[in-house]
Chains A and B, each alone.
Chain A
Amino acid sequence: MTGIEITRRPARRSLLVSAVAGSVATTAAALGSPAGAMLCLAGIAVLVAGVATARHGLVDGGGLVAFLGVVFAATEGATAGPVVFGTAATVVAWDAGGNAVSLGRQLGNRVDSLRVEFLHAVAGAVVGLTTALVGLVLFRLGPTRQPVTTLFVLLLAAVLLVVALNR
């Protein structure tokens, strides 16, 4: 008559968000190059496996590989739209995966955490989509004469600002 054990890994349903976001990323990469899509798919597979076994390392590694797939597609000549949305989808997949693993480790797989996970994923997706849209609009309407180096310096400044604000 012993009590139930807590299985410290995410519930099966938690795989869903990562898998859906991951397939969006793969589709986006496929618009650029099939090889990039394959890389992306492999990364997502590792990521989902990481969620299933509650291993942060696998989730992070898989997310990075999936993103490399998107980057590869970009170098192969993918247009801005698929690359930007692919990036956002990859981040959402990785973010949702990491969140699911932390939930699984803290609460076990018998807790119904779908609501929290869904909320988290939606918030992440909204941020990604907004940034992507703003970026794209600026990309289309903005002064295209600027060399990329100038933009890079601006981006550097933005990052430093974000970091400095949080010190």
Chain B
Amino acid sequence: MSDGDRSDEPDGGDPESGRRPERSDGGADLEAAASGSDATASADESTAGESPESGAVSGGAATDVAAGRSAADEESEIDEGSAAGEAGATTVREMHLVSTNHWVGVATVSFLTAGLGVVLRSRPLFLAAVVGVGYLAYANATEAPEPSISVTRSVADPDPEPGDRVRVTVTVTNTGDEVLSDLRIVEQVPDAIAVVDGPARTATALRPGASVTFAYTVLARRGRFTFEGIDVIARNVSGSRERVLDLATAETTITCLPGLDATDTVPLQGLTSPYTGRVSTDSAGEGVEFASLREYHHGDALSRLDWNRYARDGELATMEFREERMATVVVLVELRRAAYLQVGEDGPHVADRSIDATRRLFNSLIATGDRVGVAALAPDDVWLAPGAGPTHQAEARRLLATHPALSPTPPSGRLYVPGYLKTLLSRLDDDAQIVFVSPVPDITSAYIARALHVRDHPVTVVSPDPTRTDTPGRTLAAAERSNRLASLRRAGIRVVDWEGDERLAEALERARRRWSA
């Protein structure tokens, strides 16, 4: 609720500004509590008692964590309750000391003023120059402090659903014995997630033992994200020098697994395993759909005899049905650098759509009883051998959500395509067919699809469409892609062209109708 209020206001810092002085007072209370003032201590306890367990949202709970640590003997149960294994210790990854050049020029101005004072015989001007020299001394008297701080970070929900807003609360405590008069703190939010409320940064002054708490909200998306660092800038009191630090903190992780939602039944091609399943084959045997009649052989099941024919002309005949078999499918998702395309400036990332489609296709195929595996066409190796059952499904869910190669940021490495094809082909079962999820961004994708298809692994391409036609260049790109898809169709590969604003199920249904026609 407070989130809503805050994001509505352009001047969103207001609710926090009311709280921040309290926090510094909290530091004062803390000292009083440590020195044994009963009144303050009991007040602290009552506050902590009221805050619910998940109350890290309020930001107050995390302050209590820090309080609990310093005055551990008094509030040990709170410490255990909400600190939850987060050590606050930090290590310096990088530090450099720079001059801010803030006071540069004051010396010159002071000199000129003094000179003018001499020329004009003006004592007031001369005294003004003395003030300037005073500032010069002030600017150079101190060095930027070397901060010794601990950082405690807590997230309201470490396992959010995609789209959830997750409140992250950070408490920074000055553990050194130097006063940090000007401390600027910038949280290192993982690249792929967006901060939707509250700045993930703060500025404060900390006495030894005092702490500051700030909170911000991130929007959860598929993946595992680790908060592991913080940037700190510590200036001396005059602001002439600053120390810039990159601190490694204890790791806090958000793991966001998408649900088990599936799409419509995925149309598959006729290559199947010997096991009973749902894909109708051309081979006749036991099944549902009528295929043919043949002469009765001794031992045929009575239920399959054509009794009508027997009644008509006294001959025994056995009905045969299309056998329905289980298919082995590998969903291959294209995640080469070329496939990281974005629709427009603010549109969805097509790689994200591909991964989402992979997940839905996988769940749908698992639900229809097929054996499904996952592979990614990416520099990093991603391979989940075809399988079935809930354990396999859970494993795939985890892999699709958290594998680093499936992150929303493009890979840095390059993929050697012939080598990859060789590896993939050696892994594929003979009866495996491929569902290739790819925007078909270049000729390489089309080549891969064809290469698999001609090696007896029928390929169905599910292609999220990243193109637009609002400029001539984009129209050309769209035409090129459509040509590539057409060439794939000519090669006998089934192509599902999945447009940007279409649901996957609709695209599949549209394609199925075309294929059956």
Contacts and interface: CB of A to CB of B under 8 A. Distances in A.
Nearest to A119: B205
A29 B128 CA distance: 13
B115 interface: yes
A11 B16 CA distance: 14
Q: Is chain A's interface secondary structure helix, strand, loop, or mixed overall?
A: helix
A134 B138 CA distance: 15
Interface string B193-215: 01111110111110000000000
A7 B132 CA distance: 34
B134 A131 contact: yes
Contact of A80 (B24, B123, B198): B123
A4 B196 contact: yes
Interface string B111-144: 1011111101111111111111111111010000
Given A2-B346, A95-B239, A120-B182, A75 B120 contact: yes
Contacts of A70: 128
Contacts of B111: 159
Given A12-B11, A120-B239, A131 B131 contact: yes
Interface string A114-153: 1110011001100110111011100100000000110110
Interface string B81-122: 000000000000000000010100111011101111110111
B352 to A, nearest CB: 12
B342 to A, nearest CB: 12
B17 A3 contact: no
A71 B122 CA distance: 10
Interface stretch (A15-23, A39-47, A82-90): A82-90
Contacts of B344: none
Interface string B52-65: 00000000000000
B115 A152 contact: yes
A77 B116 CA distance: 14
Contact of A99 (B21, B102, B163): B102
B109 to A, nearest CB: 7
B202 A112 contact: yes
Interface residues of A, number: 63
B478 interface: no
A62 interface: no
A96 B125 CA distance: 23
B219 interface: yes
Nearest to B125: A74
A37 interface: no
Contact of B125 (A64, A71, A113, A136): A71
B233 interface: yes
B181 interface: yes
Contacts of B102: 95, 98-99, 102
A116 B182 contact: yes
A6 to B, nearest CB: 7
Contacts of B136: 159, 162
Nearest to B239: A99
B202 A120 contact: no
Contact of A3 (B128, B138, B195): B195
A83 B237 CA distance: 25
Contacts of B233: 106
Given A4-B195, A107-B199, 20 more contacts: A4-B196, A4-B197, A70-B128, A74-B124, A74-B125, A102-B100, A106-B186, A111-B202, A113-B202, A115-B203, A116-B183, A123-B181, A124-B138, A127-B135, A128-B135, A134-B134, A148-B118, A148-B123, A151-B126, A155-B126
6 contacts: A1-B196, A74-B125, A80-B124, A102-B239, A112-B13, A116-B181
Across the A-B interface, the 7 shortest Cβ-Cβ residue pairs? A3-B194, A131-B134, A83-B124, A113-B203, A87-B128, A80-B124, A135-B130
